[in-house]
């Protein structure tokens, strides 16, 4: 008896940046542009969407805290040389007390300046490249800045 095996030689579907731009802009109402040099879709932060960035291990614990509170944040995984960073997308930032800023800095959690941009992942996962850990869903509201900051602070005090 002879068995034939087929090998799937198709490349993963690659979505053109212009299609991704329309998805992020039209379905999610995010302020996005295409970087003319890299071809990446960029999200402008500050007015509609903001972001907190942290190391993956700590980010996993923060995400668990959010899930316990029945919240979900879109998370971008950005690989690094030594460790990956997780970028949590939130609603626009709210004012923070100095003690909150101090806690975020102690937990090694960063944030961007209003007007900064972050690259958004293409569809699918590329080997060693940026990808979605949790994709944004049309119609789902982003968690508030305060909710994610609160999850960071609770996680940090619990692990300290």
What pLDDT band is residue 36 in, cutting at 50, 70 and 90? confident
Alpha-carbon span 58 to 62, nearest angstrom:
6
DSSP-assigned letters across all residues of 6-25: ----PPPP---HHHHHHIII
What digits encode the pLDDT tens for the residues 134-156?
999 988 999 999 999 999 999 99
What pLDDT band is residue 5 in, cutting at 50, 70 and 90? very low
Q: What is the CB-side half-sphere exposure of residue 52 using CA atoms within 13 A?
A: 32
What digits encode the pLDDT tens for the residues 37-88?
888 899 999 999 999 999 999 999 999 999 999 999 999 999 988 889 999 9
Give kind and range of the element (H or E) at residue 133: strand 131-134
Return the pLDDT at 127.
58
What digits encode the pLDDT tens for the residues 81-130?
888 999 999 999 999 999 999 999 999 999 999 999 999 997 655 556 89
Q: Which residues, in sequence order, are CB contacts of 84 under 8 Å at separation 6+?
A: 55, 56, 77, 78
């Amino acid at each position: 008896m002879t068995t034939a095996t087929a090998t799937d030689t198709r490349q993963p579907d690659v979505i053109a940046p212009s299609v991704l731009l329309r998805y992020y802009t039209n379905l999610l109402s995010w302020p996005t542009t295409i970087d003319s040099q890299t071809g990446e879709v960029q999200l402008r932060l500050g007015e509609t969407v903001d972001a907190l960035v942290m190391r993956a291990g700590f980010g996993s614990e923060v995400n668990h805290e959010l899930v316990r509170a029945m919240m979900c944040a879109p998370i971008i995984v950005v690989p690094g040389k030594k460790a990956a960073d997780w970028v949590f997308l939130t609603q626009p930032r709210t004012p923070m007390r100095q003690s909150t800023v101090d806690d975020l800095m102690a937990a090694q959690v960063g944030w961007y300046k209003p007007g900064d941009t972050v690259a958004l992942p293409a569809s699918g996962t590329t080997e060693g490249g940026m990808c979605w850990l949790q994709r944004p869903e049309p119609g789902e509201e982003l968690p508030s800045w305060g909710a994610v900051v609160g999850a960071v602070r609770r996680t940090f005090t619990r692990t300290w």
